[in-house]
Amino acid sequence: MIDTKVNIAGVEFKNPVIAASGTFGFGREFSEYFPISKLGGLSTKGLTLRQREGNSGVRIHETTGGIMNSIGLQNPGIDAFIEEELPFLNSRDTVIIANVSGNTIEEYVISVEKLNETEIDMIELNISCPNVKEGGISFGIKAEIANNVVAQVRKVCKKPLIVKLSPSAENIVEMAESCVEAGADALSLVNTFPALAIDITKKKAIFDNITAGLSGPCIKPIALRMVYEVSKAVDVPVIGIGGIMDYKDAIEYIMAGAWAVQVGTANFINPKACVEIIEGIEGYMQNEGISTLEEVRGII
């Protein structure tokens, strides 16, 4: 008998596989391929206080071993999400995580207050956003800035709080410790890496914003190292993100210390990737005589 359940901040996941924010929409499209109740959880497309149209120009660009994206957090806004998308998600029998973004602390706080009154299971705070009141520097670069936004959100947040870390942090371990000190119940890492692509025919950057976020298998070894380091440094559950394409990748993250994983880029290549990873983990556990994931978590 095997048991794939994991408990993160008091929330039970039937398995450790979560659809990553920004790669799964709000689940409707993927529900045509498989029952999303099979997922351990689903992290929503990044939500902002008000509706956003997103960036102009190219938004997705394939590169060696991954993809680059410059979506610009296109989303319907918190209120429209609650009214139009959340009822569907709440009927799917899986853990629903609302990914929240903002450009000011006030935006984060108001968004979280609105979500407090819903049946969302957890909130994932995306601190990779530019802090407009600090000259545009990301909340997730400097530990003291991240500490402040997490602390302010923690004061009002009634849900278990995950903080999603950026690989651009000056020191990823210091950043993690700062967010936990401020009240994070769990951490997810990493977000996409800032990257650049150039069209040599047009002699210009491919993206209107010049740089874009890099994800996919090319970032996995670096992301895995960061998850390992953070898992050793903090006493809250860590969710691993970065280049997870199959069950072997997921097991690597768990062995590095992750309690669960988020699958992103793989969903664009194979809409059934999450289900296949879940089945692969189950098969691995059976073949290796592993009863629970706790037996291999953090063994590295």
**Per-residue pLDDT tens for 27-51?**
999 999 999 999 999 999 999 999 9
Alpha carbon distances (Å) from 262 to 103, 130, 158 = 24, 23, 23
Q: What is the mean pLDDT of residues 242-253?
A: 98
**66 phi, psi to nearest 5 deg:** 180, -165
Q: Which residue has the tokens 């289900």?
A: 275
Q: Is residue 198 assigned to a domain?
A: no
Could you tell me whether strands 66-69 and 60-63 are parallel, antiparallel, or unpaired per DSSP bridges?
antiparallel
Please tell me the predicted confidence (pLDDT) of residue 136: 77
Measured between alpha carbons, how far is 238 from 165 in angstroms, rounded to an integer? Answer: 11
Range of the domain at 39: 6-56+71-193+215-295
Which is nearest to 20 in space by CA: 275, 200, 265, 186? 265
Other Cβ atoms less than 10 A from the Cβ of 203: the count is 7
**295 phi, psi to nearest 5 deg:** -65, -25
CB 163 within 8 Å of CB 179 = yes
Q: Is residue 61 assigned to a domain?
A: no
Measured between alpha carbons, how far is 260 from 191 in angstroms, rounded to an integer? Answer: 15
- Angle formed at CA 69 by CA 65 and CA 74, multiple of 5 degrees: 150
Q: Is residue 200 assigned to a domain?
A: no
Measured between alpha carbons, how far is 279 from 268 in angstroms, rounded to an integer? Answer: 19
Alpha carbon distances (Å) from 75 to 55, 64, 80, 292 = 11, 28, 9, 37
Q: Is residue 203 assigned to a domain?
A: no
Q: Is residue 210 assigned to a domain?
A: no
Q: Is residue 125 assigned to a domain?
A: yes
Q: Is residue 95 assigned to a domain?
A: yes
The CATH code of the domain that includes 219 is 3.20.20.70
CB 108 within 8 Å of CB 116 = no
Q: What is the mean pLDDT of residues 120-143?
A: 91
Please tell me the predicted confidence (pLDDT) of residue 129: 87
Measured between alpha carbons, how far is 23 from 64 in angstroms, rounded to an integer? Answer: 19
Q: What is the mean pLDDT of residues 10-33?
A: 97
Q: What is the mean pLDDT of residues 140-157?
A: 97
The residues carrying an active-site annotation are 129
Residue 144, token pair as written in the block: 């003291």
Residue 145 Rama label (left phi>0; alpha psi -120 to 50; beta): alpha
Signed CA dihedral, 292, 295, 297, 300: sign only: negative
CB 50 within 8 Å of CB 80 = no
Please tell me the predicted confidence (pLDDT) of residue 137: 83
- pLDDT score of 132 more than 90: no
Average pLDDT value over all residues in the chain: 97
Which is nearest to 231 in space by CA: 287, 265, 180? 180
Q: Which residue has the tokens 């950057």?
A: 205
- pLDDT score of 135 more than 90: no
Please tell me the predicted confidence (pLDDT) of residue 13: 98
Q: Count the domains in the chain.
A: 1
Q: Is residue 204 assigned to a domain?
A: no
**Secondary structure letter of residue 16 according to DSSP:** S
The pTM is what? 0.98
Residue 104, token pair as written in the block: 């000011």
